[in-house]
Amino acid sequence: MRADRRLGWEACWNVRDLGGLPTADGGHTRRGALVRSDKLSRLTAAGVRALVEHGVRTVIDLQFPDETARTPHPFRDSPRTVPGVRYVNVPINSGRDPALDSQAFAAFADARSRAEAYAVDVDFNRTGFARIAAAVAQAPAGGVVLHCQAATARVSASHCCCRSWVCRTRPSPRTTR
């Protein structure tokens, strides 16, 4: 991974700007358009300022309700709500029929690689991924940060889907031989 993708938001340990990553159609994501992060509830005041200065105007929290209930969030809770930054909570499993939970858990247990686990996630959580993509696509001007507990599986699967659908620039010029 290129070092210039890492962002220094105080008290967050896994923050990356996804600008420059390729999209399926030959383009690439714009710098500042899409950021992935671990738990933003740890941010200090300096970390909050750094997020805002990076241009983020929408925070999409992928945490489950029981996770969000455990800690205050600087972009969700008063009096620390940050003006100009919109907060949206869209758990990855939103819209999934709870009756499918045992099947989903079994499929995750059988996954032999991270790629297989991501595929299971998409298969069982199509509605959640559609809601996440819609939240990214409908975000006001400015950057979007996707975050959860550690910026691993949930954020990775979400950003892979989103970066091909939104946040792209023109395709790179191609040469013909």
pTM reported for the whole predicted model: 0.81
Per-residue model confidence (pLDDT) at position 79:
47
pLDDT band at 1 (very low <50, low <70, confident <90, very high): very low
Assess if residue 9 is contained within a domain. yes
By CB neighbour count within 10 A (0-12 exposed, 13-18 middle, 19+ buried), where does 94 fall?
Answer: middle
Assess if residue 65 is contained within a domain. yes
- What gap in Å lies between CA 14 and CA 39, rounded to an integer? 9
Residue-wise pLDDT tens digits, 91-149:
888 888 999 999 999 998 999 988 888 888 888 888 988 898 889 888 998 999 988 87
Per-residue model confidence (pLDDT) at position 169:
45
Per-residue model confidence (pLDDT) at position 116:
86
Assess if residue 133 is contained within a domain. yes
Do 125 and 162 meet the contact criterion of CB atoms below 8 Å apart?
no
Assess if residue 177 is contained within a domain. no
- Higher pLDDT pick, 11 / 115: 11
Both structure tokens of 111: 């996954």
Q: Which helix (H) or strand (E) holds 158?
A: helix 153-165
Report the CATH number at residue 68. 3.90.190.10
Which amino acid, one-letter code, is at 92?
A: I
Lowest mean pLDDT, pick from 27-41, 82-96, 143-157: 143-157
Contacts of 73 (CB under 8 A, 6+ apart): 40, 41, 61, 87
Assess if residue 142 is contained within a domain. yes
> Which residues are registered as beta bridge partners of 143?
56
- What gap in Å lies between CA 41 and CA 89, rounded to an integer? 13
pLDDT band at 160 (very low <50, low <70, confident <90, very high): low
